[in-house]
Chain A
Amino acid sequence: MFLIFLILVKGISVNAYDTPNDDGSSVTVSWESDIPYSSILILRSEQKDGVFEPICEARVGRNDYQDTLIVRGTFYYYQIKAMTDEGEIISAITGPTVASVQVFNTGRLNIFVAIIILFAAILFYISRAKREKLFIRKIPALAAMDEAIGRATEMGKPVLYVPGIMDIDDPQTIASMSILAKVAEKTAAYGTTLYVPTARAMAMSMAQQVVKEAATKVGRPDWYIADNIRYLTDDQFGYVSGVDGIMLREKPATNFYLGVFYAESLILAETGHSTGAIQIAGTAMPDQLPFFVAACDYTLLGEELYAASAYLSQEPVQLGSLKGQDLGKLIFIFVILAGVIAGIVGFQGFYNLFISVH
């Protein structure tokens, strides 16, 4: 009786199985030991009563090993040997195990489902937006835009538009360009000068095109001056000192900072404030929002930058995606509430749905 007890306590058990969700290139060997060991030796054989060859020595602290040196379709048997203070301990043989191909990674099913839901929501509303007009709430900073441009016109001073320091493949720059189109329309209509310095060559050509089209649209093609939309330099600090120079020389009455910003946000907002300009900022860079909020008159917070671009352009695609994102947010809220309730009633299964297998 005592002996049996000892074996049960001081045992080492091994288990081998086809590694889930792989292409059939490995077998996972896992073990449990009740006794501290200094090293583990993994042995393998193709026959249960054959010769077991060592294939790997595992480090302490690990309790599994992926055997990738296998032939797919071959059956394997495993056994492990642990070195302990009391000598070698050998486990029972486990097997046969065979590796096989999986076509779908079931460990990532929850990711798959989440993506499908989000895609469906966005695409559904995009297609609906093409048929009917979707509502987007007013965004306070945008109402201020007209007023700010009007003020510059009254004072006879220019408007400065900074589209961020990233290139046109960044979503924020894309959003900024559709806001620029509206700003350009307004300034062109009033005949107010508009400066757009950029930090990327491609952003410059896009901005030129956007502004030119806006001028034509309001019937003022003569207003457009290509030289006011200039590429300064790719370098962050070089760009900022260039923009600062424009602010100090031309003294614009209204500054827009919309797009991607890093450390330069503070320098821009501080200089702009010192020249007495009305400042409207917007970025989805959470790190830079505090400076804009504290030093600018109006700030588009995070996702509002995208919403503003949808609101102004009234393009079905943008409006529809925004609506789809809103549905996503509603789903999130319900999921959070459901999760909290599941916690209260002690339903762990709901919690586990959100874990993806490593």
Chain B
Amino acid sequence: MKRTLPLTIVLGCGIFMLIAFFVPVRWFQDASQTLQTWYLGVIAFFVFIGIFNLVRINVLKIQHKRRDWQFSIFLLIFLAGMLLAGFIGGPDGTVFLYLFQHFQIPLSATMFSLLAFFVASAAFRAFRARNPEATLLLIAAVLVMIGRVPIGVWIWKGFPSLVEWIMSVPNTAAKRGIIFGIDLGLISMALRVILGIERSYMGGKD
């Protein structure tokens, strides 16, 4: 039961969806549409559980007064504020949008922009031409970095066309090869999951 039922579900849903793609008969199309709607609803729970875990871990942190527990209070207050604003005023409510615009936008944009500083320090401390491969990588990177911005044109007129050529010839070729490889890997993983050959994601022994 603990294994057979889940395996039957994955097999049933998977095979049915595959067949429905090729069979334009109404009943098949409607059923596959319904399953897809259910799917959209169910995947929301994956995020709900993540947020539940977030709350749990921070409440524990405050209870046990672990290091930096005071900051967890901030986290929970703002989480609660956002939830209240959203569930009372709706996702287009003024308070919700205000919080979004003046907290979420600057915080998230600034967080990601920190990476600009890290990339600079990594460029100096970590990106070394240790072997021929890394050397090739760094040369291509330098060409693109200079050739893609206006100063590149100022240095040499041919830079933009050189970079465009790198992008559309060697880059395209390699990316396409990599995509083929990754796609094949994913198809075979997907097939194994559907057929129940791959079941490690279920965890557990029973």
Whether B192 contacts A317 by the Cβ 8 Å rule is yes
A123: B residues at CB distance < 8 A: 191
A29: B residues at CB distance < 8 A: none
**Given A105-B23, A171-B185, A263-B115, are A302 and B203 neighbors across the interface (CB < 8 Å)?**
no
Distance between Cα atoms of A23 and B28 in the complex (Å):
10
Q: Give me the 7 closest cross-chain CB pairs, A-B, nearest first.
A: A234-B50, A295-B126, A303-B181, A273-B126, A171-B189, A270-B122, A321-B188
Whether B182 contacts A118 by the Cβ 8 Å rule is no
With CB as the reference atom, state the residue of chain B lying closest to A123. Answer: B191
Residues 42-60 of chain B, each 1 if its beta carbon lies under 8 Å from chain A, else 0: 0000100111011001000
With CB as the reference atom, state the residue of chain A lying closest to B30. Answer: A23
A237: B residues at CB distance < 8 A: 111
Question: Majority SS of interface residues in chain A?
Answer: helix
Distance between Cα atoms of A23 and B68 in the complex (Å):
62
A269: B residues at CB distance < 8 A: 122, 126
Distance between Cα atoms of A306 and B184 in the complex (Å):
11
For A119, give its contact among B21, B179, B189, B191 (CB under 8 Å). B191
Q: Does B88 contact A (CB under 8 A)?
A: no
Within 88-114 of A, Cβ neighbours of B (below 8 Å) are at 101-105, 108, 111-112
Whether B185 contacts A112 by the Cβ 8 Å rule is no
Q: Does A132 contact B (CB under 8 A)?
A: no
Stretch at the interface among B33-41, B133-141, B146-154: B133-141
Residues 164-206 of chain B, each 1 if its beta carbon lies under 8 Å from chain A, else 0: 0000000000010011111011111111100001101101100
Whether A293 contacts B192 by the Cβ 8 Å rule is no
A-B contact pairs, 11 of them (CB 8 A): A105-B23, A168-B203, A178-B200, A200-B50, A209-B204, A231-B53, A235-B54, A270-B122, A273-B125, A293-B134, A325-B184
Whether A329 contacts B182 by the Cβ 8 Å rule is no
Distance between Cα atoms of A302 and B46 in the complex (Å):
26
A270: B residues at CB distance < 8 A: 118, 121-122, 125-126
B141: A residues at CB distance < 8 A: 290, 294
